[in-house]
Amino acid sequence: MNLLALAWKNLAYKPLTALLSVLLFALSIGLISLLLNLREQADEQFDNNLADIDLVVGAKGSPLELTLNSMYHVGYATGNVSLGQVKAFFNPQHPIVADAIPLSLGDNYGGYRIVGTIPKILDWYGAQVATGAAWKEDFSVTIGAEVASKLHLDVGSTFRSTHGILDEGEDNIEHDDEFKVVGVLAPSGTVLDQLILTTNQTYWHTHEDHGPEPTTPAQDTSALADHDHDHEHDHDHEHNHDHDHDHAGHDHSQIGSLLEEGAEKEITSVLVRYKNASSFQALSFPRNINENTELLAANPAYEISEVRRQFDSGQRILGILVLAITFVSALSIFIALFSSLRERRYELALLRVMGASRPKLFGLIILEGLTVAVLGYVLGLLLSHGILYLVAANIEDDFRYQLDPLRFLAAEGWLLLGALGIGFVAAVLPAIQAARTDIGEVLTSDV
């Protein structure tokens, strides 16, 4: 019988003791793996969505809320600002601002946010249209890859939006206007995967009062005649037809068309890129805005670093817990192996009589410790990725962010080496004790 099979039989001789050691080891490995995955994937989400944006400008409130809502589409907007207040940011001659993108938020479809903006945002996030085209006209939309997959939408699909940024089920207030999908984005690994993109003007049209216009008697007669002629068309179809007639056909894909609107028109926020982010003017620009205007300027890199700092604090606390569990699991392996030696002294002595050398006995006990470590490592990875699967489902429902539970990190490979090291260290003293087994003393004492 080879050493591996013998080591397995020795562990199986006391299954409850071995199981306790494996479970403790699996718990420590699982927590370490979970922390590594959450940190790695969260950092990627944060970094991908920064998109080299230097500043977010919106209504007064919390800079963190403004950043999360405008760039990560989490939480609620701090309010709206008028075009007149932010028009200067779109001036190509601006001494500090190189480029700016407007955002209008407030509606959703199926829980996915509808964002009024311009197609330039695709370049900022490195996204590309997979099928169809980018939106240009009002009530045309280009949707993210996840939106298309989860809501079963494709080019040519139509839908009606609901008020608010969250899907409230039966309490949803559905708008009358109908959106049409003109394009689907390729997966980009950014927040655009979870967005429905349209024009800023669409946001205004959606929230305007579409009540019936007053008509003259002659117009009423004409309308009745048309109704008799086209009796098969219902009221909703007539409304959408009139709406399409009023708003379709206008290219609103450029910032110029937005600036032609009245100064009182409102948007949610502006994403800004600097000409030179390291210049003194750029460094003092947010403070000047916050102190001298009714606007709020937030530095996304700083705000996200604060989120990461809080996340790191939680990780440190969990890290201490993981170290404690790891120490206990290693101690459990040591105690289990050491306590079993007294019961196995006769067995070890017989192995020596049958020709087993001291190094073989040493290797046998070490192999038992390594076996526990490997089993704990495998079970720990299954545990961590199982928890990640559950966490991913909740995060996707609440925040529309995706975590990949099937993704394995390179660090988890190094984690295997660490697990083997712990198993080896825990088994060294019992292995040395086994290798020093005195054949004569053991056999004589047992006679």
The mean per-residue pLDDT over the stretch 167-182 comes to: 72
The more confidently predicted of residues 10 and 189 is 189
Query: In 10 A of CB 69, how many CB atoms?
Result: 24
Pairwise CA distance, residues 216 & 219, whole Å: 5
Give me the helices (H) in 344-357, please.
345-353
End-to-end Cα, the chain, rounded Å = 26
The more confidently predicted of residues 341 and 39 is 39
Going by pLDDT thresholds of 50, 70 and 90, the confidence category of residue 443 is low
Task: Give the tens place of pLDDT for each residue, 205-234.
Answer: 887 644 433 333 333 433 333 434 444 444
Which pLDDT does position 441 carry in this prediction? 58
Q: Which two tokens stand for residue 173?
A: 């207030």
Which pLDDT does position 170 carry in this prediction? 53
Pairwise CA distance, residues 221 & 223, whole Å: 5
- Is residue 145 within 8 Å of 185, Cβ to Cβ? yes
Which pLDDT does position 62 carry in this prediction? 92
Structure letter (DSSP) for residue 433:
H
Query: In 10 A of CB 412, how many CB atoms?
Result: 19
Going by pLDDT thresholds of 50, 70 and 90, the confidence category of residue 347 is low
Going by pLDDT thresholds of 50, 70 and 90, the confidence category of residue 343 is low
Task: Give the tens place of pLDDT for each residue, 292-340.
Answer: 999 999 999 999 888 888 777 777 787 888 888 888 888 888 887 777 7
